[in-house]
Amino acid sequence: MKIIAFGAVTAGGKTTVVNAIKDRLPRTVSLHFDDYSFDGEVEDFSKWVSEGADVNVWDLSPLKADIERIIRSGEYEYLLLDYPFAYQHQMIKGYLNCCIFIDTPLDIAMARRVLRDMKGAAADEIRNEMNIYLKCARTAYVQMQKDHLSASDYVIDGAKELEDIISEAMEIVLRC
């Protein structure tokens, strides 16, 4: 079985691409980082980045257990991980065959996030979210692009049309 990790900043396209590939490839399953709650999760990303952005503070045991369960099942040819850390987390890196980073410009990711997550939000809520982004979240996204993009095997331009991103990702998955 091949285990392929997809990384990107928040709203960078990970989930969309993983789900599209899963729908197109038989015997494929996916796990999504955001579906888990982990011990050691970072609350203050700005502080975390200033202290070195060590991804190993997250205890990814629940994700690891699910990866091992899927491997043991023998049912699947591919496991796609919607997962932000590429090879950098000690607990998961040994399972990965390939890491793909979707390099989505931060302005595009932010626009997608607002459109996706803040449909019914009042203007003050959106302004507050933009302030949080500028004061602390942006530094974490820039750090992610720096650390996890460089640790990935492949980088896809996240500014391309969605279908082009999916096609390129599918080609990479089949090569891994």
Query: Considering the chain, what is the average pLDDT of its residues?
Result: 90
32 has pLDDT over 80: yes
Residue 107 CB partners (closer than 8 Å, separation 6+): none
Q: Are 30 and 108 in contact (CB under 8 A)?
A: no
pLDDT band of residue 49 (cuts 50, 70, 90) is: confident
Q: For residues 36 and 6, is the Cβ–Cβ distance under 8 A?
A: no
pLDDT at res. 108: 87
Looking at the whole model, is its pTM more than 0.85?
A: yes
Indicate the pLDDT class of residue 113, thresholds 50, 70 and 90.
confident
Task: State percent of the chain over pLDDT 70.
Answer: 100
Six-digit token string for 36: 């888990």
More confident residue, 154 or 44: 154
List pLDDT tens digits, range 57-91. 989 999 999 999 999 999 999 999 999 899 999 99
Q: Which whole number is the average pLDDT over 21-41?
A: 92
Residue 100 binned pLDDT confidence (cut-offs 50, 70, 90): very high
pLDDT in tens, 122-172: 889 888 888 877 877 777 777 777 777 788 999 999 999 999 999 999 999
H-helix or E-strand spanning residue 99 = strand 98-103
Give 105 or 40, the one with higher predicted confidence: 105
Q: Residue 152: its pLDDT value, please?
A: 94
Determine how many CB atoms are found less than 10 A away from the CB of residue 116.
10
Task: Quickly state the pLDDT bin for 38 (edges 50, 70, 90).
Answer: confident
- Burial per residue of 76-111, b for 16 or more beta-carbon CB atoms within 10 angstroms, e otherwise: bebbbbbbbbbbbbebbeebbebbbbbbbebeebbe
DSSP, collapsed to helix, strand or coil, labels residue 8 as coil
